[in-house]
Structure 1
Amino acid sequence: MTTAPVIELRTYTALDPVRGDLLDVYAEVRAPLLHLPNYAVTSFGERLDRHGTEPGFVAVLAYADSHPIGYAYGNTIERGDRYWQRTSPAPAEEYTGRPALALKEIGVRPAWRGTGTALRIHEALLAERAEPYVTLMVNAAAGDGKVHALYRSWGYEDIGQSQPSLASPLLTVMIRPAH
């Protein structure tokens, strides 16, 4: 029987203490895509800084031997949020009529993929949240469709599409109950 790797999960509600660790892990996680404007570290840093000031910001980082190996972060979105406004078709009132947690980013260093670390980070992010739903956007082509399939295995369902910026690919919007 195998056991889950020994990692420490840390939760943060402020960006400053972990901004550097988030940028470091992001750069390795997205290394094959960094040449694309939407995925450049500077573009991510700008999004991260904006997201870090939004209501309900939370980040969970995983550490092994005091080194960051993975992360997830998100924030609360309300009715009328630009997140919902850019989703087509318009999501059901059941999802948009109350606060939801928008999972903005999740990533695990390549050496730690397939160990259950991403799911552990994801579940830690949701553990203390009051929102009834969690939503995310995924590039359906990422990992030849494996990332989309992984989110489905975690209980997410497709509810629409969104293109958050001109530099962004068309993304699939997914949602599931938070608990």
Structure 2
Amino acid sequence: MTTAPTIELRTFTDLGPVRGDVLDVYAEVRAPLLHLPNYAITAFGERLDRHNAEPGFAAVLAYADGHPVGYVYGNRIEHGDRYWQRTAPEPAQEYTSRPAVALKEIGVRPAWRKTGTAHRIHDAFLATRDEPYVTLMVNPAAGDGKVHALYRSWGYEGIGQSQPSPASPVLTVMIRATR
């Protein structure tokens, strides 16, 4: 697919009814990495449940013909949050002095890539937020650097690195204004 197909975007503040949809998309998106402990479906499910319980949680899922094709989710982080504590060097106070939204995960099924779906669900997610900044972490090696470059094209800039868990690779922390 190379043109933007018709999708329905749905916003959720609780993943209960669509948790399975997120896990199904995740399993296809991360299929080549599922053998690694950090990317295993059980590890992702545990992170997903933890994030769902955090303040300001929201998710946007994309559906085509009733089937999930992509998702994005995140939550609000405050000054002193472990997200910021694990970021090195310490982020500028401009970013951490007020609440920000941490985009925790975004995924689009391979057949739906290069259709604008990821950008559409990303923008729909940000449209629901009132925090001044959005931050995310990306594996700089993902897609041979293409994922990092995609986020840069969306206006994100690198501000540091983080390793959220011992099983996680070192990630680039990126940030941009929500609007």
* TM-score normalised to structure 2 length: 0.98
Q: Deviations over 1:113-161 (max 9, x none)?
A: 0000000000000002100000000000000000000000000000000
Q: What letter corresponds to residue 73 of structure 1 in structure 2?
A: Y
Q: Please, which runs of 5 or more residues in structure 1 have no aligned partner? A: none
Aligned pairs for 1:1-179 within 5 A: 4-179=4-179
SS at match of 1:137: strand
Q: CA separation in 2, counterparts of 1:3 and 1:169?
A: 33
Q: Please, which runs of 5 or more residues in structure 2 have no aligned partner? A: none
SS at match of 1:122: helix
SS at match of 2:158: strand
Q: Deviations over 1:76-104 (max 9, x none)?
A: 00000000000000000000000000000
SS at match of 1:19: helix
Stretches of 4+ aligned residues off by more than 4 angstroms: none
Q: CA separation in 1, counterparts of 2:78 and 2:13?
A: 18
Q: CA separation in 1, counterparts of 2:150 and 2:4?
A: 18
Query: CA RMSD of the aligned region, Å?
Result: 0.8
Identical columns (%):
81
Q: CA separation in 2, counterparts of 1:17 and 1:123?
A: 22
Q: CA deviation at 1:3?
A: 5.1
Q: CA deviation at 1:4?
A: 1.9
Whether contact under 8 Å (2:3, 2:115) holds in the other structure is: no
Give the count of matched residue pairs: 178
Q: CA separation in 2, counterparts of 1:50 and 1:119?
A: 25
Q: CA deviation at 1:17?
A: 1.1
* TM-score normalised to structure 1 length: 0.98
